[in-house]
Amino acid sequence: MSTIDSRPVVVMVVEDQSDMRKHLADAIQSDARLRLVDAVESGFSAMQVLVNQDVDVMLVDIGLPDMSGLQLIRQAVDLRPALDCMVVSMFRDDELVLDAIRAGATGYLLKDALQNDIAARVLELSQGGSPISPAIARLLLRNVQVDRAQSSTDALQPATTDVAGCMGRLTARELDVLRQVGKGLSFREIADVLAISQRTIVSHVKNIYRKMAVHSRGEAVYEATWQGLL
């Protein structure tokens, strides 16, 4: 394991309920592979941290006092494209879950189903996984099934035509990066596989998101799979 891969994963908690904020913070601090950079109660405070410090993973609630957690995720990912955002919420509404993924969330855990392995879930996320509570996974599967059914009966024009056009403009290197992302590799791992810097990977991913008109790794993989690129 290289030096950069052996450093602790830097985590921030954004949660307005003090008990839950402490619970999440304690879970992060209990694992030596993780480093808690801060635990804040508002979106504004979170953005102040992100402006001044590198953060690998952000745990964020949907219902913050000053802004929606979805708004925070969008702003955070725009500022730091390599950031992984995991929603920790009591909400399990279909549209809200999908909106969170579209905003840039790469994981979604329900508060009422939190297990004792929060640290393990954070590590899984930082390594390219997408931890999702079983109830949320079922919602996503149901929506994918509905989307496919609607697409198969659409006699006019597939909903992903614009995305397909964007994919045609991806460079060969961007396609290489996208395929590695689809395998679930972290940005650090992709940099090792392709023998380029992590900073260059982040730049490629940002270009991929822009060309595909998506805002998260999960959404990019979904669209690329739909188009048969993965």
10-residue mean pLDDT profile of the chain (230 residues): values are: 64 95 93 96 96 94 92 92 89 76 84 75 83 68 53 45 55 87 79 85 81 74 72
CATH topology assigned to domain 3-139: Rossmann fold (3.40.50)
> Which residues neighbour 142 within 8 Å (Cβ) at sequence distance 6 or greater?
94
Phi first, then psi, for residue 147 (nearest 5°) are -60, -45
Return the pLDDT at 16: 94
User: Which of these CATH numbers, 1.10.10.10, 3.50.50.60, 1.10.10.60, 3.40.50.300, describes 157-226?
Assistant: 1.10.10.10
Return the pLDDT at 11: 97
Return the pLDDT at 114: 67
Return the pLDDT at 157: 47
For residues 182 and 208, the answer to whether their CB atoms sit within 8 Å is no
- Please state, in angstroms and rounded to a whole number, the distance separating the CA atoms of residues 189 and 8: 15
Give the count of beta carbons closer than 10 Å to the beta carbon of residue 12: 25
Residue with tokens 């590198």: 54
For residues 64 and 91, the answer to whether their CB atoms sit within 8 Å is no
Return the pLDDT at 116: 67
> Which residues neighbour 88 within 8 Å (Cβ) at sequence distance 6 or greater?
15, 20, 24, 59, 60, 61, 109, 111, 114
Return the pLDDT at 156: 43
> Which residues neighbour 39 within 8 Å (Cβ) at sequence distance 6 or greater?
12, 13, 15, 21, 22, 24, 25
The domain limits of the chain are 3-139, 157-226
For residues 130 and 104, the answer to whether their CB atoms sit within 8 Å is no
Return the pLDDT at 140: 60
pTM above 0.85, yes or no: no
- Please state, in angstroms and rounded to a whole number, the distance separating the CA atoms of residues 35 and 227: 38
